[in-house]
Amino acid sequence: MKQYDLIVIGGGAGGLTAAAGGANFGAKVALIDKGSLGGDCLWTGCVPTKSLIQSAKILHTAKKANIFDLEVHGYPNFKVAKERLNQSIATIQKHDDDQRFIDMGIDVYHGGASFKNANEIRIDGQTTIRGKRIVIATGSRPMIPPIEGIKETGFLTNETALQLEKQPKSLIVVGGGPIGLEFAQSFSRFGTKVTVVEMGTSILGKEDSELVPYVIGSLKKDGVEFITGAKVLKAENMDSGKQVIIEQNNQQKTLLFEEILLASGRVPNTDKLELENAGIRSNRGFITVNQKLQTNVPHIYAIGDVNGYYPFTHKAGYEGKLVVSNAVFGLKRNANYSNLPWVTYTDPELFHLGLTEEEATNKGKEIKVYKTPLDDVDRFVSDHETNGLIKIITDKKGMILGAHAVGPGAGDFMQEVVFAKQYGHKIGSISNVIHAYPTHVGGVQRTADLYWREKLVSSSITNILKKYVKWFR
């Protein structure tokens, strides 16, 4: 039986980071994955979906050519979009090729992993290897909600929707979160009639409520319809399509669509790991970990989607780095998600960092809120892209508690605020940085300028300074 210092189960962002980090520091590492390395992000998530979003945006932009007295005719070829996303996957997959990790000295195994005991892992029930430390990074998959008849009727998920050869004529999206909305807007821009059904009273329930209407308005302009406060009860096949029964305000309505896309959450890939053989605790399939990412079995760690904290690729990568410190070097570093940003890649993009205004208020904090609409930012004005808002929340001393933005490229131009928050810089520090003009990030500087403007207006020393300036002149 082969012995390893570190066994990593799962070849996604977190697992690959942990395996490479361990090998680079001299640990003997085994990496196990049931499919091709790269994880959901590469094959069915971040990479292909962003390619689809960009293809849909090109179509959307082309239609704007009528302002220059140009006309666009015909129907978009969805196969081209699929070819583009496959090209993106193929290019990026080279970074996650088996040989790259083999060259690092890592033993790569392909097959299903399960625990024989707390130190031994079986691969496809045959090969068994032993590890001193073990990292579980098996990711998640789409949740299939308990809708009567849904399996018999057939449905799409974020995985299978990317395999379509042509866009459906009509589509119901079950779930108003980031995944559902990104697909809804993309398909709508390709010409699909899209309806989003959300159980909550609004979409994007975790986002700052002041910014969400910008996204809703944009999607509605693209033709997306919303049914909120509603639940899908039943689905069945009809000669003319897939019939869906929806309940809203205690009333039922029947709708007909060509396809159903389920985007109502994720479940962890832990059901085949036989966690009980190692005595590992879990809750609804999510593995319970402490702040050091250890399970209740101290030499076994869980990172990424399987531990239930924030289902983002960049979060899994962060945890992969952290677990190298703890599992390979024996350090006791805690995970800290207070500076974890995320982005909903609709058009406009929606950026989230830290507390929303509602959350900060509910915590009883004395806060300041600084806001800049994009029509006050010269670069957005010159681009004629002014649908959006930048919002930064601080405590009374100017320390950043949260930052949110909606606008074209918000996920990029707000990154400066992540740095400032993580390293304890006050909002005023951003104002003091020289920003090139005109840029989109100038909107962040303009928002930070409001801090000093307020300080000068409310400061008791202002009158003294005015008298000094008058004397000096």
Q: What is the DSSP string of 317-362?
A: HHHHHHHIIIIIS---PPP--TT-EEEE-SSSEEEEEE--HHHHHH
Tell me whether residue 147 is annotated as binding. Answer: no
Query: How many residues make up the chain in this entry?
Result: 473
Tell me whether residue 213 is annotated as binding. Answer: no
pLDDT of residue 454: 85
pLDDT of residue 344: 98
Tell me whether residue 177 is annotated as binding. Answer: yes
User: Cα 249 to chain center, whole Å?
Assistant: 31
Q: What angle do CA 230, 233, 234 make, to 5 degrees?
A: 140
pTM: 0.94
With 0-12 CB in 10 A as exposed, 13-18 as middle and 19+ as buried, what is 135? buried
pLDDT in tens, the chain (473 residues): 999 999 999 999 999 999 999 999 999 999 999 999 999 898 989 999 999 999 999 999 999 989 999 988 888 999 999 999 999 999 999 888 999 999 999 999 999 999 999 999 999 988 999 999 999 999 999 999 999 999 999 999 999 999 998 899 999 999 999 999 999 999 999 999 999 999 999 999 999 999 999 999 999 999 999 999 999 999 999 999 999 999 999 999 999 999 999 999 999 999 999 999 999 999 999 999 999 999 999 999 999 999 999 999 999 999 999 999 999 999 999 999 999 999 999 999 999 999 999 999 999 889 999 999 999 999 999 999 999 999 999 999 999 999 999 999 999 999 999 999 999 999 999 999 999 999 999 999 999 999 998 877 666 656 666 666 676 66
* CB 30, CB 102: distance < 8 Å: no
Which DSSP letter does residue 376 get?
G
Tell me whether residue 428 is annotated as binding. Answer: no
Tell me whether residue 82 is annotated as binding. Answer: no
* CB 104, CB 20: distance < 8 Å: yes
Tell me whether residue 181 is annotated as binding. Answer: yes
pLDDT of residue 464: 65
Per CATH, 2-142+267-328 and 150-261 having the same topology is answered yes
pLDDT of residue 72: 87
- Torsion-angle region of 302 (φ positive above 0: left; ψ -120 to 50: alpha; else: beta): beta
Q: Which residues face 2 on adjacent strands?
A: 129
| Amino acid (one-letter) located at 297 | V
Q: Which residues face 142 on adjacent strands?
A: 266
Longest CA pairwise span in the chain (Å): 88
Tell me whether residue 64 is annotated as binding. Answer: no
**Tokens representing residue 472 in the block:** 């000096």
3-class state of residue 75 by DSSP: coil
Tell me whether residue 176 is annotated as binding. Answer: yes
Q: What angle do CA 105, 110, 116 make, to 5 degrees?
A: 95
Tell me whether residue 407 is annotated as binding. Answer: no
Instruction: Work out the angle between the directed axes of helices 46-63 and 78-93 (0-180°, nearest 10).
Output: 140
Tell me whether residue 140 is annotated as binding. Answer: yes
Cα separation, 467 vs 447, in Å, equals 28
Tell me whether residue 198 is annotated as binding. Answer: yes
First to last CA, the chain: 86
With 0-12 CB in 10 A as exposed, 13-18 as middle and 19+ as buried, what is 104? middle
pLDDT of residue 465: 60
Distances in Å between the Cα of 222 and the Cα atoms of 51, 172, 215, 219, 232 are: 18, 15, 11, 5, 23
Prior bond of 348 cis (ω within 30°) = yes
Q: Which residues, in sequence order, are CB contacts of 37 under 8 Å at separation 6+?
A: 11, 16, 31, 96, 97, 98, 101, 108
- Phi, psi values for residue 155, rounded to 5°: -155, 165
**Tokens representing residue 115 in the block:** 């625990």
Cα separation, 189 vs 203, in Å, equals 19
Tell me whether residue 305 is annotated as binding. Answer: yes
- Assigned fold of 2-142+267-328: FAD/NAD(P)-binding domain (3.50.50)
Cα separation, 240 vs 234, in Å, equals 16
CATH superfamily name and code, 348-458? FAD/NAD-linked reductase, C-terminal dimerisation domain (3.30.390.30)
Tell me whether residue 175 is annotated as binding. Answer: yes
- Assigned fold of 150-261: FAD/NAD(P)-binding domain (3.50.50)
Tell me whether residue 383 is annotated as binding. Answer: no
Give domain limits for the chain.
2-142+267-328, 150-261, 348-458
